[in-house]
Chains A and B, each alone.
Chain A
Amino acid sequence: MDETLTQRLAANLDGSFEDLVRESQDRLYSLALRYVGSASDAEELAQDAFVRAYRALERYEPQRIRDLDLRPWLTTILLNACRNHLARPARRAAAATVVVDEFVIIAGDAGHGPEAHVERREAAERWAHLVGSLPPLYRAAVLLRHLDGMSYEEMTAVLGRPQGTLKAQVHRGVALLRAAFEAEERGRTTSTQAPAPADRAGPSDRPSSPTASLEAL
Chain B
Amino acid sequence: MQHPTGALRPVAPIGAGNSTSRAVHGTDPGVESAVARLRVMAPPSLLPRTLIAAGLADAYASVDSPVGPVFIAWNTRGISMVSLADDAGRFEEQFGREIGRPLHRVEALPPRLARVVGRRLAGDRPAPVPVDLRGRSPFEEAVLRKALEIPAGEVRPYGWIAAEIGSPKAVRAVGTALGHNPIPLLIPCHRVVRSDGHIGQYSMGGPEVKRRVLTAEGLDLDRLETLARHGIRYIGSDTTKIFCMPTCRLARRIMAKHQVEFTSLPDTRRAGYRPCRACRPAAAAA
Contacts and interface: CB of A to CB of B under 8 A. Distances in A.
Given A175-B3, A179-B5, A182-B8, A147 B45 contact: no
B46 interface: yes
Given A111-B17, A123-B34, A174 B28 contact: yes
B39 interface: yes
Given A14-B56, A120-B15, A108 B5 contact: no
Given A119-B14, A182-B11, A217-B4, A29 B40 contact: yes
B39 A51 contact: no
Contact of A106 (B1, B27, B39): B39
Interface string A99-111: 0000111111011
A171 B26 contact: yes
Contacts of B47: 18, 21-22, 25
A146 B1 contact: no
Contacts of A116: 15
Interface stretch (A42-50, A72-80, A200-208): A42-50
Nearest to A126: B14
Interface in A23-45: 25-30, 33-34, 39, 43
Contact of A108 (B1, B4, B16, B41): B16
Interface string B20-46: 000100111011111111111111011
B36 A146 contact: yes
| Chain A: interface size category | 35 or more
B48 to A, nearest CB: 10
Contact of B31 (A14, A106, A177): A177
B280 interface: no
A123 B1 contact: no
Contacts of A168: 1
Nearest to B1: A171
A3 interface: no
A127 interface: yes
Given A29-B40, A149-B36, A217-B4, A110 B15 contact: yes
A190 B38 CA distance: 28
Given A29-B43, A185-B11, A124 B38 contact: yes
Contact of A142 (B1, B4, B16, B35): B35
Interface of B: 1, 3-5, 8, 11, 14-18, 23, 26-28, 30-43, 45-47, 49-51, 53-54, 56, 76, 102
Given A25-B47, A106-B39, A123-B15, 9 more contacts: A34-B38, A39-B43, A107-B38, A123-B34, A174-B28, A174-B35, A178-B23, A178-B28, A181-B31
